[in-house]
Structure 1
Amino acid sequence: MSITIQHSQYNSEFYKLAKMSLPEIKEYVNNNYPRAKANFFMKYKLQQYALFLSNPKIHA
């Protein structure tokens, strides 16, 4: 199964985060987003982000 991800500002964030360690991701998200959005990302979207990076068949 191959998943194709269309380019968007949201996906650009994933690629930016891909170059960071987990502590760097936490710091980046907490510094660049309102607290509620940062908490949502760390609780729910970080799992999606990890899946995104672990699937080699995903294309931008």
Structure 2
Amino acid sequence: MSISIDKDVCIGAGQCALTAPGVFTQDDDGYSELLPGGQEGGGDPLVREAARACPVGAITVTEDER
């Protein structure tokens, strides 16, 4: 699983960090960022829900091809 955050779209609503706090956090300016190791989703089942919760669709979750 790959997670990307479009920093140009993010408005800092924080829904991702509230939904999946083991993967997302907010930087000093309040914008979303991945926690260290968060790029793979950390196995957190709430990653997709966090992406859906983003009010501006700044988070993209894709399955890695094997």
Q: Give TM-score, length-normalised by structure 1.
A: 0.28
Q: Which protein is richer in strand relative to its size?
A: 2
Q: Which protein is richer in helix relative to its size?
A: 1
Q: Give TM-score, length-normalised by structure 2.
A: 0.26
Q: Which of 1 and 2 has higher RCO (CA within 8 Å, sep 6+)?
A: 1
Look at both structures and tell me which one has the larger radius of gyration over its CA atoms: 1
